[in-house]
Amino acid sequence: MFKYLKQLTSLVAMVAVLFTFTTETMAAKKSKTLKNTQKKGFVRCGVSQGLPGFSNADAAGNWTGIDVDVCRAVAAAVLGDANKVKFTPLSAKERFTALTSGEIDILSRNTTWTLSRDADIGLTFVGVNFYDGQGFMVRKSSGITSTSQFKNGISACTNIGTTTELNMRDFFNSKGISYEPVAFEKADEVVAAYDAGRCDTYTTDKSGLAAQRTKMSNPDDHIVLPETVSKEPLGPVVRQGDSVWEDIVRWSLNAMIEAEEYGITSANADSMKTSDNPAVKRLVGAEGELGAAFGLDNEWSLRIIKQVGNYGESYKRNIADTGILPDRGPNELWTKGGILYVPPAR
Amino acid sequence: MNLKLQKIVPQLITVLAVVLVFGFFSYNAQVNMENRGIDFGYGFLSQESSFDVQFSLIEYDGSHSYFRAYLVGLLNTILVSVIGIIIATILGIIVGVARLSPNYLINKFAAFYVEFFRNIPLLLQIFFWYFAALRALPLPQDADAMFGVFFLTIKGLYVPAFVWENFNVFFYSTVAAIIAIVVIRVHAKKVQETQGKQLPVLWISLGLILIFPLLSFLIGGVNLSFEIPKLKQLAVTSYRYEGGLNLPPELIALTLSLALYTATFIAECVRAGIQGVGKGQKEAAASIGLNPNQVLKLVVMPQALRIIIPPTTNQYLNLTKNSSLAAAIAYPDLVLVFAGTALMQTGKAIEIVSITMLTYLSLSISISILMNWYNKKIAIKEK
């Protein structure tokens, strides 16, 4: 009698466990962040305080940039309108706290993906939207054309709260050069101090150097040295613990890159519905049930492509045409000699 | 009994409410951090910091710990506060007295200084001294030497460094001189109280502080030489000075702006203090035959100080707290190094901000205690 009772209890327990497990996954399907975003009617996106090409606001308060486009893509996928984004400008220091405390839902702010950031502080990096590397800018008149000409006692301006400070130390230590780091809180002050002659070199991500050079009193007086001293994969970040939201942001970015790969642009997206290629048809929502996996409809990626454009369009609009980095370098598709390679959307 | 209970109960409720509120906040923070997978702990303090700091009073580089980086920031904050307080006090007293000067020009000039500097936001003044003044300074290769050895450039003020031999002998001789001065002062006071004679304490003191160290040079084997900064070329148009001591422009700009700003408030405290001493006091002091110097030193100042000290304490506290604006111009103070870089590299926001807050609190309380002690010392001792 007792034997049966024991078996019965374990059975009940198993059923109970199974039941809670299934309800758990059902609940997880409907992501809390997704639900909140749909209820609010806008995506809360953290961006920089002004970095041309990545996230920069014009005089009328319109944000543009490739980091901005990631948030717009998510808004297009989730809410159907790429303009339904609330941008919060954040300093390098504030950005992670703003994300973990729930003030924003996506951090798309030229943020380097590193192990400690991914593992330690409650964040998840969802992908890379720009492959960057740290470089150095010097005055042309100094005659320096390579970092190998740096000498002991060089002063380097940079800003705090970034991986730059760590890379700078690694670089100068490996070369055995003593240096004077002058670290500011904001990028504008770094530029002003370097421009005034306080420092011999200005170091940050190369894309940043290219963008900031345009702010100098005489941009042609400065050059960015050819050497790249670190790997800086920049990408959007979300809070840990909401895997559905994480997937939405990851695949919104991936969809933009894959759309470029298949030649789908904002102009031809609708006509691609009749394409012969099933991969193209899946991306424009004419085949398969891809959106259902994260609780969205089937045209989520079509809306991204139509409203924001593919990755190539976004790059051209924000970075190439503005003269920041006309050459795509590593940020070219893998099929064209770059390293942009995303898993297939299927 | 009932009355006692009536007194205690509201206090108990208040304490309970405070504890509950704090408990709620810390519990809430704990739950949320757990949900988001953020670890809480102070273990990071012993980890390697791996970032360098521009300017440090103690030996430090990236291979030291975060705790060491904290100390670097703290000492830099204390340095700028102490120098700032000293300059602000001297300047404040001069301007405060000048505002009472019968000379129209001096009087108005002091008033203009006070009104000008205290009515412009401090951050703006810091930016002005750093960016406007910095741009006006010459590059190292264009700098003219002042007195042949000082070089004021955009990369900072380069001054000769002291190179000591047998520094400890010099140090002990100075300490001995100070002890001798204290002994003589005590003796002089006794002589005055018992015999009514005044010894020339000031001259004796000056003599001692000069003669003792001088002897250490002559017979103690102490030797002092100067290391004068030399220009070094880094690239075609890029130079710096080597050797000697470099005061970075960030430190100079920050100290200058903090001192100039705070001195205006101290000047007003000093003016209020001196004006607060009754006219009759001065007249009475003069009538017993004290000369004007003695009137100021023995009668007016002791009374004025009682009025001056408490508000001046506030200004000292303000200056110390305002030094945290350093982050804007890259002076590596506690906020920039610890609550800035270290916070970013570790992501330990709650831990680091709490440590930083506690540190500023302790600094302020230390200054308060010191000033309160001094205030008590000079207060009227009623018998």
Q: Are residues A106 and A248 in the same domain?
A: yes
Q: How many CA atoms lie within 13 A of B101 on its CB side?
A: 17
Whether residue A153 contacts residue B234, with contact meaning beta carbons closer than 8 Å, is answered with yes
User: Last residue of a domain, which of A207, A230, A253?
Assistant: A230
Residue position matching structure tokens 């045209």: A299
Q: Are residues A138 and A203 in the same domain?
A: yes
The reported pLDDT for the residue numbered A2 is: 54
Q: Are residues A165 and A183 in the same domain?
A: yes
Terminal CA-to-CA distance of chain B, rounded, Å?
37
- What is the C-alpha to C-alpha distance for residues A259 and B103, in angstroms, rounded to an integer? 81
What are the backbone angles phi and psi of residue B14, rounded to the nearest 5°? Answer: -60, -50
For range B103-126, the mean pLDDT: 94
Instruction: State the nearest Cα–Cα gap between A168 and chain B, in angstroms.
Output: 8
Count Cβ–Cβ pairs < 8 Å, chain A vs chain B. 129
**pLDDT surpasses 50 at B367:** yes
- What is the C-alpha to C-alpha distance for residues A155 and A183, in angstroms, rounded to an integer? 10
pLDDT band, residue A27 (cuts 50/70/90): very low
The reported pLDDT for the residue numbered A26 is: 47
What are the C-alpha distances in Å from B305 to residues A338, B84, B294, B315? 74, 20, 15, 15
What digits encode the pLDDT tens for the residues B145-157?
777 778 888 888 8
Helix (H) or strand (E) holding B312: helix B301-322
Residue A149 lies in a domain: yes
Residue of chain A whose Cα is closest to the Cα of B345 = A161
Closest among B363, B254, B252 to B317, alpha carbons compared: B363
Whether residue B177 contacts residue B209, with contact meaning beta carbons closer than 8 Å, is answered with yes
Burial string for A229-258 (b: 16+ CB within 10 Å, else e) reads bbebbbbbbbbbebebbbbbbbbbbbbbbb
Whether A200 sits inside 8 A of B62 (CB atoms) is no
Pairing type for strands A222-224 and A134-139 reads antiparallel
User: Last residue of a domain, which of A197, A230, A263?
Assistant: A230
- What is the C-alpha to C-alpha distance for residues A113 and A18, in angstroms, rounded to an integer? 37
- What is the C-alpha to C-alpha distance for residues A323 and A211, in angstroms, rounded to an integer? 9
The reported pLDDT for the residue numbered A63 is: 95
Residue A317 lies in a domain: yes
The reported pLDDT for the residue numbered A4 is: 64
What digits encode the pLDDT tens for the residues B263-300?
999 999 999 999 999 889 989 999 999 988 888 888 88
Q: How many CA atoms lie within 13 A of B107 on its CB side?
A: 5
What are the C-alpha distances in Å from A291 to residues A295, A346, B116? 6, 10, 64
Q: Are residues A282 and A152 in the same domain?
A: no
What digits encode the pLDDT tens for the residues A228-245?
999 999 999 999 888 899
- What is the C-alpha to C-alpha distance for residues B362 and B376, in angstroms, rounded to an integer? 21
What digits encode the pLDDT tens for the residues B14-53?
999 999 999 998 888 888 777 766 778 888 899 888 899 9
Pairing type for strands A179-184 and A154-159 reads parallel
Domain boundaries, chain B: 2-38, 46-136+248-378, 168-218
Nearest to A183 among B37, B235, B330 (CB): B330
Q: Are residues A77 and A192 in the same domain?
A: no
Nearest to B329 among A161, A179, A189 (CB): A189
Residue numbers in B near A157 (CB within 8 A): 330
What are the backbone angles phi and psi of residue B380, rounded to the nearest 5°? Answer: -65, 125
For range A121-130, the mean pLDDT: 91
Residue A6 lies in a domain: no
The reported pLDDT for the residue numbered A24 is: 41
Residues in A 192-231 with any Cβ partner in B closer than 8 A: 192-193, 196-198, 200
Q: Are residues A243 and A125 in the same domain?
A: yes
Beta bridge pairs of residue A201: A138, A156
What is the CATH classification number for the domain harbouring A105? 3.40.190.10
For A239, the domain range is 35-131+234-329
Residue numbers in A near B51 (CB within 8 A): 165-166, 169, 181
Beta bridge pairs of residue A56: A64
User: Last residue of a domain, which of A186, A206, A230?
Assistant: A230
The reported pLDDT for the residue numbered A305 is: 95
Residue A345 lies in a domain: no
Residue A208 lies in a domain: yes
Q: Are residues A118 and A267 in the same domain?
A: yes
Nearest to A144 among B135, B235, B240 (CB): B235
Q: Within an 8 Å CB–CB cutoff, is residue A168 touching chain B? A: yes
Nearest to B242 among A150, A153, A193 (CB): A153
CA angle B261, B263, B267 (to 5 degrees): 130
Whether residue A93 contacts residue A185, with contact meaning beta carbons closer than 8 Å, is answered with yes
Q: Are residues A90 and A239 in the same domain?
A: yes
Helix intervals (H) in A218-342: 243-261, 278-283, 300-307, 311-315
SS3 B277: coil
Domains in chain A, number: 2
| CB-based contacts of A286, cutoff 8 Å, min separation 6 | A272, A273, A274, A275
For residue A173, count other CB atoms closer than 10 A to its CB: 16
Q: Are residues A322 and A275 in the same domain?
A: yes
Residue of chain A whose Cα is closest to the Cα of B54 = A181
Residue A25 lies in a domain: no
Residue numbers in B near A148 (CB within 8 A): none
Instruction: State the nearest Cα–Cα gap between A297 and chain B, in angstroms.
Output: 29
CA B239 to chain centre: 32
**pLDDT surpasses 80 at A3:** no
Average pLDDT score, chain A: 88
Whether residue A167 contacts residue A134, with contact meaning beta carbons closer than 8 Å, is answered with yes
Instruction: State the nearest Cα–Cα gap between A70 and chain B, in angstroms.
Output: 23
Residue of chain B whose Cα is closest to the Cα of A152 = B234
**pLDDT surpasses 90 at A136:** yes
Q: Are residues A83 and A147 in the same domain?
A: no
Residue numbers in B near A161 (CB within 8 A): 340-341, 343-344
Q: Which of B63, B234, B329 to mutate to test the interface with A (most CBs of A within 10 A)?
A: B234
Whether B52 sits inside 8 A of A165 (CB atoms) is yes
pTM: 0.79
Q: Which of B30, B49, B52, B233 to mutate to test the interface with A (most CBs of A within 10 A)?
A: B52
pLDDT band, residue B169 (cuts 50/70/90): confident
Average pLDDT score, chain B: 87
Q: Are residues A45 and A161 in the same domain?
A: no
pLDDT band, residue A28 (cuts 50/70/90): very low
Beta bridge pairs of residue A57: A63
Whether residue B274 contacts residue B110, with contact meaning beta carbons closer than 8 Å, is answered with no
pLDDT band, residue B188 (cuts 50/70/90): confident
Residue A13 lies in a domain: no
B46-136+248-378 under CATH 1.10.10.10, yes or no = no
What digits encode the pLDDT tens for the residues A112-122?
998 888 887 78
